[in-house]
Structure 1
Amino acid sequence: MEISIHNTHLPHPRPQWTENFARFGMAAKGVVYSLVGALAFMAAFEINGNSEQGAGKQGVFQFILEQPFGKILLGIVTLGLVCYTIWRFIQAFMDSESKGADAKGIGKRIGYAFSGVIYGSLAFYAAKLVLGSGSSSGGGDSRQTLAGKLLEQPFGQWLVGIVAIVTMGMGLYQIYKAISGKYLKNVQTASIKSEIKDMLMKAGKVGYIARGIVWGIIGFLFLKAAMNSNAQEAGGTSSAFQFLEQSYGSILLGAIAIGLVCYGVFMFVRARYEVINT
């Protein structure tokens, strides 16, 4: 009796480098968000003279750079963000999550690509600081620059308005993921020690809600920029923190800051326990 084996039916080995990129990238993202939350909390209560302007992601990079061995540390974080960017583009263009080519799937993959662009720009800025060519003052607000360039285009106010709506929609989706429990979808919670599992899961929920609120405020600032045709009214994370404190006080900003630390912690959980589709 002859036994034939067809190679086409054999499973292909998983591309381990893709999984490593994803995990390293999520860990780097966790570092950034943990520091963003910590600096925002310090700014809320004026600890060590910190301000909301220095609590955004670009301010975090400057903070890392000022620590002992700062260039090495920031270089590691930069490499992690590059890995995260590549992973997001793999998800978007190679459809590693099997989202498909229907309207819903395309929408998800566009979201992955958008995330890749955002973290790619952060990695580029951090790399400039490591190489000594970045501005020590933070380099201005990239969101204001984006809003200004869009406003210069035909139908510029409409373009900025679309960015505002998409950003607010992403913020609402983060909150939905938290409330619905979808943030746990690919995390192997059974592998987490029972004594810390509940705490980590709650941290993730709080973190996604806090992140959603910040995204919502950034979207609102873009909407104001669109309505008033003024790019200076747009802003990123640091501008959102300023808006929170000026409008609702230090207590709420401090609560959101703790939530962002929780999000950073949960990114470490994802880096360790998430199932990475390759």
Structure 2
Amino acid sequence: MIDLSNFSSNLPQWVKRFAQLGLAAKGVVYCLVGILAFMAAFEIGGSSERNLNKQGVFRFILAQPFGQILLTLVAIGLVCYALWRLTQAFLDNEHKGTDAKGIGRRLVYGFSGLVYGFLAYGSFRMVLGSQGNQGRDNSRQTLVREILQKPFGQWLVGLIGLCIIGIGLYQIYRALSGKYLKNVQTSAIKTELKAMIIRSGKIGYIARGIVWGLIGYLFIKAALEANASKAGGSSSAFVFLEKASYGSYLLGAVALGLFCYGIFMFVRARYEVINTSS
């Protein structure tokens, strides 16, 4: 069995830097998602909300001057974020403990680490010339289609949808309760910027919660209609918003919120207290 005690003693030398780089990379991704979604909402530059997932952002970065270098830097940042989350999960440097609540929180960290690890892998594949996964919404629909074919498949897909909605509601709760500021050293932020930064974080978490909620709703719709094509990710959520009454304004508002979330990730990278002792 691997002894992690000696390994954990080296945490102060790299965990904080990994966390900062990872949060900054996440900020870049969400800022670009917000910008591209806003452009799609008001048909600026021919943007389409149908490709506004993280893979679409990676393709956008790759298409820019020095795109391979830029995307490589983002991918490295996402690897750092994934490693930080996995460190939180397995080494418990956040001291969540081993009770039910602590284990649950550490599982969330681990899941987040795996998700961003796969995102980093996909972005590296693009840098190396492979387009990777052209549509994560399509992969979700394939997964939902397979689940629907299983016994109680509709119930399982519906349960997944409810869990996703729960994640969205928790994001909104974090925003309204102020918990999103729990580990941020707000006292170190310049007074003239503090109110704006705090507000941007609140708006960002609410917007992210709305997107999660819409994704969960689409999963439930897929379950009720036994139709996997109804399920999807962020780009499907954006399409849903765009088709609603005043859809352009709704999508534009959510896009600005996601941009605010990205900005707040930069704030976290600069001012968050990163625990480095396990």
Q: 2:189 matched to 1:157?
A: no
Which shows bigger deviation, 229-238 or 61-70?
Answer: 229-238
Q: 2:95 matched to 1:101?
A: no
Q: 2:211 matched to 1:214?
A: yes
- The partner residue of 1:75 within 72, 75, 88 is 72
Aligned to 2:242: 245
Q: Take 2:183 and 2:123, find their aligned partners in 1: how far apart are those partners?
A: 29
- The partner residue of 1:24 within 13, 17, 21 is 21
Structure 1: gaps of 5 or more residues? 1-11
Q: Take 1:92 and 1:133, find their aligned partners in 2: how far apart are those partners?
A: 31
Q: 2:166 matched to 1:169?
A: yes
Structure 2: gaps of 5 or more residues? 1-8
Aligned to 1:54: 51
The alpha-carbon distance between structure 1 residues 220 and 131, as it changes in their structure 2 partners (threshold 3 A), is same
Q: Take 1:243 and 1:275, find their aligned partners in 2: how far apart are those partners?
A: 37
Deviation of 1:216 after TM superposition, in Å, equals 0.5
Q: Is the contact between residue 209 and residue 259 of structure 1 (CA under 8 Å) also seen in structure 2?
A: yes
Aligned to 1:276: 274
- State the AA in 1 paired with 2:54: K
The alpha-carbon distance between structure 1 residues 271 and 202, as it changes in their structure 2 partners (threshold 3 A), is same
Deviations 1:178-200 (A, max 9, x none): 00000000000111111111101
Deviations 1:68-119 (A, max 9, x none): 0101101111111111111111112222211112221122112112212221
Q: Take 1:87 and 1:13, find their aligned partners in 2: how far apart are those partners?
A: 13
Deviations 1:106-143 (A, max 9, x none): 22112112212221222122111111122595476332
Deviation of 1:55 after TM superposition, in Å, equals 2.1
Q: Take 1:144 and 1:173, find their aligned partners in 2: how far apart are those partners?
A: 25
- State the AA in 2 paired with 1:259: G
Q: Take 1:30 and 1:240, find their aligned partners in 2: how far apart are those partners?
A: 20
The alpha-carbon distance between structure 1 residues 110 and 136, as it changes in their structure 2 partners (threshold 3 A), is closer
TM-score with structure 2 setting the length: 0.91
Q: Is the contact between residue 55 and residue 134 of structure 2 (CA under 8 Å) also seen in structure 1?
A: no
Q: Is the contact between residue 186 and residue 271 of structure 2 (CA under 8 Å) also seen in structure 1?
A: yes
Q: Is the contact between residue 37 and residue 52 of structure 2 (CA under 8 Å) also seen in structure 1?
A: yes
TM-score with structure 1 setting the length: 0.91
* Superposition pairs of residues 30-41 of structure 1, within 5 angstroms: 30-41=27-38
Q: Tell me the number of residue pairs that the alignment of Structure 1 and Structure 2 aligns.
A: 267
- State the AA in 2 paired with 1:74: L
- State the AA in 2 paired with 1:197: K
Q: Take 1:93 and 1:224, find their aligned partners in 2: how far apart are those partners?
A: 36
> Secondary structure in 1 aligned to 2:15?
helix
Deviation of 1:64 after TM superposition, in Å, equals 0.2
**Percent of pairs with identical residues:** 64
Q: Is the contact between residue 62 and residue 138 of structure 1 (CA under 8 Å) also seen in structure 2?
A: no
Deviation of 1:15 after TM superposition, in Å, equals 2.4
- The partner residue of 1:223 within 206, 217, 220 is 220
> Secondary structure in 2 aligned to 1:114?
helix
Aligned to 1:125: 122
Q: Take 1:229 and 1:136, find their aligned partners in 2: how far apart are those partners?
A: 25
Give the number of the structure whose alpha-carbon radius of gyration is greater: 1
Deviations 1:162-219 (A, max 9, x none): 2211111110000000000000000001111111111011000000000000000011
> Secondary structure in 1 aligned to 2:78?
helix
Q: Is the contact between residue 122 and residue 132 of structure 2 (CA under 8 Å) also seen in structure 1?
A: no
Q: Is the contact between residue 137 and residue 235 of structure 2 (CA under 8 Å) also seen in structure 1?
A: no
